[in-house]
């Protein structure tokens, strides 16, 4: 098994981790009830997706 002969610098370590930051979640608005939802998902509030109802939501 190969082992490193020398220590990697802090810059090299930081460059490797440069892409590990979390991104903010993208949101769109539901066309029916205007609630923020994840794109390409049915709305959890009203059950609509692309202008038609695909889920029956029970009101409490």
Sign of the Cα pseudo-torsion (37, 40, 46, 47, in order):
negative
Distance CA 48, CA 5 (A): 59
Q: What is the pLDDT of residues 3-59, one digit of tens each?
A: 989 999 999 999 999 999 999 999 999 999 999 999 999 999 999 999 999 999 887
Q: Check: CB of residue 30 under 8 Å from CB of residue 45.
A: yes
């Amino acid at each position: 098994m190969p082992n490193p002969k020398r220590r990697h610098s802090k810059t090299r370590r930081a460059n490797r981790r440069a892409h590990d930051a979390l991104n903010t979640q993208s949101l769109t608005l539901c066309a029916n009830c205007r609630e923020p939802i994840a794109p390409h998902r049915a709305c959890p509030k009203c059950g609509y997706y692309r202008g038609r109802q695909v889920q029956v939501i029970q009101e409490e």
